[in-house]
Amino acid sequence: MPPGDRVGADRVDAVADQLPATVAATGELKVGVNVPYAPNEFKDDDGRIVGFAVELVEALGDVLGVRPVFNESDFDRIIPAVQAGTFDMGSSSFTDTKEREQSVDFVTYYSAGVQWAQRVGDDVDPDNACGLRVAVQTTTYEDIDEVPAKSEACVAAGKPPIDKVKYDSQDEATNALILGRVDALSADSPITAYAIARSDGRLETAGPVFDAAPYGFVVAKGSPLGPVLQQAMQHLIDSGVYAQIAQRWGMEEGTIDTAQINAATS
């Protein structure tokens, strides 16, 4: 947890005045979030929901003149809740993919790749992990797309499949690797880097970062909130607030210059 107070931003009337009436009337932005997924979204020692993406949403609230209200949810229930109107938006390290864009819209705020981790001294190759036990958090890109594709390639080559071991939280996946219950873990690059940094020297990277893709805040398909969030996000980028927040959380590597709506490449 970085020291000091969060980085704030000023209200921008030209953007705030475009908020949908349903949001403006309440003065609140209902945000679905899944924790723990440090450093993006997790709880501090006092039980407060904090993190890089959380602080970004709070700064977006500053620009829009509304107060974000974070609602904990299972990861796989956030998008349906946004579609149903239970949440105005979802902020849970969602990878913007063409498949997801069929049902919701994304406002991009970061670029992350996939990074594997192993116990220090092991020799795990993500491109040759056939037969290994690999931890993932359930319903993430690594669970749904990346590891299954690697496993299918193993089978096609006449090798044993990857034994994908799913966990409800990233903390559980990390602990499983530390304790030797799995051979490796696969997660988004900033999450893996944070897990390694907090492992007391027990974990290290396995191979390079790959499959870079944008993170996006989720809004309902065609929602007028999407363009407003995109403008607010671009203001944070242009004003330097975004860079300050990224630096505060050690997330400089994947920062972006332009906030976009639906920027998936695959």
pTM of the predicted model as reported, rounded to 2 decimal places = 0.79
What fold is seen in the domain 13-112+213-254? Answer: D-Maltodextrin-Binding Protein; domain 2 (3.40.190)
Give strand ranges (E) for the chain. 28-33, 42-43, 49-50, 67-72, 89-90, 104-119, 133-137, 163-167, 184-188, 203-220
pLDDT of residue 139: 85
Average pLDDT of each block of 10 consecutive residues along the chain (266 residues)? 79 98 96 89 92 97 98 94 98 92 98 96 98 95 95 98 96 97 96 90 95 94 98 98 92 92 93
Write the DSSP string, 38-66: TTTBEE-TTS-EESHHHHHHHHHHHHHT-
Ordered by start, the domain boundaries in the chain are 13-112+213-254, 114-211
pLDDT of residue 1: 61
Top-tier CATH class for 114-211: alpha beta
pLDDT of residue 4: 67
pLDDT of residue 257: 97
Domains 13-112+213-254 and 114-211 alike in fold: yes
pLDDT of residue 16: 98
Angle in degrees, 0-180, between the axes of helices 52-64 and 225-239, rounded to the nearest 10: 100
Long-range pairs, 48-54, Cβ under 8 A, ≥24: 50/1, 51/249, 52/190, 52/245, 52/246, 52/249, 52/251, 53/91, 53/92, 53/93, 53/109, 53/110, 53/215, 54/91
**HSE of 42, CA atoms in CB hemisphere, 13 A:** 18
